[in-house]
Amino acid sequence: MTAHLLPSAALPIDSVAAFTPGALIAGPCALPQAPLAMPAQVIEAQTGLLRRLIAGLIPHHPTAPSTGAGV
Protein backbone atom coordinates (compact mmCIF):
# COMPACT_ATOMS: atom_id res chain seq x y z
CA MET A 1 0.00 0.00 0.00
CA THR A 2 1.32 3.40 -0.95
CA ALA A 3 1.65 5.75 1.99
CA HIS A 4 -0.21 8.33 0.01
CA LEU A 5 -1.39 11.62 1.46
CA LEU A 6 -4.56 12.70 -0.23
CA PRO A 7 -4.61 16.38 -1.18
CA SER A 8 -7.57 17.37 0.91
CA ALA A 9 -7.04 15.07 3.86
CA ALA A 10 -5.68 17.87 6.01
CA LEU A 11 -8.54 20.29 5.35
CA PRO A 12 -10.87 21.09 8.23
CA ILE A 13 -14.14 19.25 8.01
CA ASP A 14 -16.36 22.31 7.76
CA SER A 15 -14.37 24.04 5.01
CA VAL A 16 -16.81 22.94 2.31
CA ALA A 17 -18.74 26.18 2.70
CA ALA A 18 -15.69 28.09 1.48
CA PHE A 19 -15.95 26.54 -2.00
CA THR A 20 -18.41 26.89 -4.82
CA PRO A 21 -19.48 23.51 -6.16
CA GLY A 22 -17.28 24.04 -9.24
CA ALA A 23 -14.25 24.98 -7.13
CA LEU A 24 -14.86 22.00 -4.87
CA ILE A 25 -14.59 19.41 -7.63
CA ALA A 26 -11.67 21.22 -9.25
CA GLY A 27 -9.80 21.49 -5.95
CA PRO A 28 -10.08 19.49 -2.77
CA CYS A 29 -12.53 16.95 -4.16
CA ALA A 30 -10.65 16.26 -7.39
CA LEU A 31 -9.36 12.71 -7.63
CA PRO A 32 -6.00 12.19 -5.91
CA GLN A 33 -2.96 12.00 -8.17
CA ALA A 34 -1.51 8.53 -7.55
CA PRO A 35 -0.96 7.01 -10.99
CA LEU A 36 -0.86 3.27 -11.42
CA ALA A 37 0.13 1.61 -14.69
CA MET A 38 -2.56 -0.50 -16.31
CA PRO A 39 -0.83 -2.24 -19.22
CA ALA A 40 -3.02 -3.40 -22.10
CA GLN A 41 -3.46 -7.16 -22.06
CA VAL A 42 -3.57 -9.58 -24.96
CA ILE A 43 -7.27 -10.42 -25.21
CA GLU A 44 -7.60 -11.90 -28.66
CA ALA A 45 -5.64 -14.46 -30.56
CA GLN A 46 -3.49 -12.96 -33.31
CA THR A 47 -5.00 -15.32 -35.84
CA GLY A 48 -8.59 -16.51 -36.21
CA LEU A 49 -9.83 -19.90 -35.03
CA LEU A 50 -10.11 -21.32 -38.55
CA ARG A 51 -6.55 -20.29 -39.46
CA ARG A 52 -5.26 -21.72 -36.20
CA LEU A 53 -7.05 -25.00 -36.82
CA ILE A 54 -5.70 -25.22 -40.36
CA ALA A 55 -2.23 -24.25 -39.17
CA GLY A 56 -2.45 -26.99 -36.57
CA LEU A 57 -3.32 -29.59 -39.18
CA ILE A 58 -0.57 -28.70 -41.64
CA PRO A 59 2.76 -30.34 -40.73
CA HIS A 60 5.52 -27.82 -40.06
CA HIS A 61 9.25 -28.18 -40.37
CA PRO A 62 10.70 -28.03 -36.86
CA THR A 63 12.84 -25.03 -37.78
CA ALA A 64 10.03 -23.11 -39.48
CA PRO A 65 9.11 -19.77 -37.87
CA SER A 66 6.04 -19.68 -35.65
CA THR A 67 2.71 -18.81 -37.25
CA GLY A 68 1.76 -16.64 -34.31
CA ALA A 69 0.73 -16.68 -30.69
CA GLY A 70 -1.72 -19.33 -29.68
CA VAL A 71 -0.96 -21.53 -32.72
Partner 1 sequence: MTHRRSRVGLYALRGFALALSLLAGLGAFVLFLQFGDADGLDALDILRALLILISTLWLAWGAIQALIGLTSFAHPPAYDTQAPITGRTAILMPVYNEDPLATFSRVAAMDASLAALGDPAQIHFAILSDTRNETIARREVQLFAHLVSDRHGMGRFFYRRREMNTGKKAGNIEDFITRSGGAYDYALILDADSLMDGETILQMIRRMEAEPRLGLLQTLPKVIRARSRFGRAMQFSASFFSPIFARGLAMMQGETGPFWGHNALVRVRAFAESCGLPALRGKPPFGGHVMSHDYVEAALLARAGWIVRLDDDLGGSFEEGPENIVDHAKRDRRWCQGNLQHSRIIGAPGLRAWSRFVFAQGIMAYIAPLFWLGFILASIAAPLLAPPPDYFPEPYWPFPYFPPSEASKAIGLAIGIFGLLLLPKILIAARAALTGRARGFGGAALAFASTLGELAFSSLTAPVLLMYATRSVFQVLLGRDGGWPTNNRGDGSLSLSESISASHWIVSIGLIGLAATWIFAPGLFLWLLPVGVPMIFAPVLLWWSSHPSTGRLMGVPTEYAPPPIMVLHDQIFARWTAALDAEPAPETSHA
Give yes or no for residue 66 binding partner 1 (CB under 8 A): no
- Rg of the chain over Cα atoms, rounded to whole angstroms, equals 27
CA distance 50 to 39: 29
Residues 35-54, one symbol each (x = binds partner 1 by CB under 8 A, - = not), give xxxxxxxxxxx---x--x--
H-helix or E-strand containing 34? none
Shortest approach of partner 1 to residue 51 CB, angstroms?
11
What residues line the site for partner 1 (CB under 8 A)?
1-2, 4, 6, 8-17, 19-22, 24-26, 28-45, 49, 52, 69-70
